[in-house]
Amino acid sequence: MEKHPSGIKPETWLVSAGRPTEPGAPLNVPPILASNFIIGGGREYARGSGTPTWEALEAIVGGLEGGKAVAFASGLAAVAAVFDQLPVGAVVVIPEDCYQGVASLSARGAERGRWSVQRVAVDDTRGWIHASAAADLIWLESPSNPLLVVADLEAILAAARKPGAIVAVDNTFATPLNQQPLDLGATVSVQSATKFIGGHSDLLAGVVTTRDDGLWHALRKSRELTGATPGTFEAFLAVRGARTLALRLQRAQQTAMILAERLEGHPLVARVRYPGLPSHPTHGIARRVLKGFGTMISFDLLGGAEFADAVCRKVRLIRHATSLGAVESTMERRAAVPGQEHLPPSLLRLSVGIEDPDDLWADLDSAIRSGAL
């Protein structure tokens, strides 16, 4: 693995890591479109040995997270590889508010007798500390999706836990620029590179990073045996996208704060969920554990599902689409997603992009006001 040079800031690492260094080599790692390699050089078949393109992505994210990374075909493939490490009969603890893929995967495993599942509120720090003593997998997500609750990772990750337990943090919303789970004591940090790492809504990829060498090898073996390998061109695009992560995140976070403050004062908005607002229930924790408040805003409209759906149809600059973390702003009503029906019916999740904040506000305000008619 490419080491993180002492004194190099993350913004510089994003640009410099994962590049060839040999004289005459290309400046960027190209997409290596090969499934097999000539025997004798240590690399024989891509599914088991990887490719230089995958390794460039792993070098960037691994160094950024402060560990060794394994790239996967998608964020959910990365999640599944972590769950794949569990013995039959394991105890799994996940947040009440979390990515629907994690909820579905854990529930399916429980139905088949693979493990038992407990759910704990993201902000129930005592509940997490208590559950950690007997859990085989503690799965944390902070900020959570889509309610944007921030967990007290410092306290939870410092708690005593069962020997051999895996403590995983889904770091997708925060990104490694805003949060360093491995430094706080997590076993693994998980990124859906589909989101902020790629940043352009044009790829599927996931990355798991750990400092446990044995677990790193086990994750690579899971990738090999399940065939959850990243596409070469997807890895190439993720590397290209990662180069601008710091700039994109800085701009989008600034805009998200502006929009959150304006939404909080809107007469047709009932509640704004953004960790950067002093009114947010876990704002104090967010100030302590996060370097930035992120680009995601969830807000509840003063109306029902039909009103929220109308707003989604009426936006023009903001795209009515799922997913997040890209250069373009997207928005959706999360309770319309299968498995998310328990959420407030008028809750909209907004992923803020890098557009001009005034243009985004004009679009959003107009859609809200016309949607109410």
Sign of the C-alpha dihedral, residues 31, 182, 140, 248?
Answer: negative
319 touches 329 (CB < 8 A): yes
10 Å Cβ neighbour count for 197?
28
Q: Cα–Cα distance between 104 and 110 in angstroms, integer?
A: 10
The tokens for 306 are 């039909």
Find the catalytic residue in 43, 97, 99, 314: 99
CB proximity list for 142: less than 8 A, separation 6 or greater: 122, 149, 150, 151, 153, 169, 170, 173, 174, 179, 289
Find the catalytic residue in 19, 47, 211, 271: 47
47 is catalytic: yes
Q: Cα–Cα distance between 144 and 5 in angstroms, integer?
A: 32
Find the catalytic residue in 43, 68, 161, 195: 195
172 touches 208 (CB < 8 A): no
170 is catalytic: yes
164: left (phi over 0), alpha (psi -120 to 50) or beta: left
Find the catalytic residue in 170, 273, 309, 333: 170
10 Å Cβ neighbour count for 19?
16
Active site positions, annotated:
47, 99, 170, 195
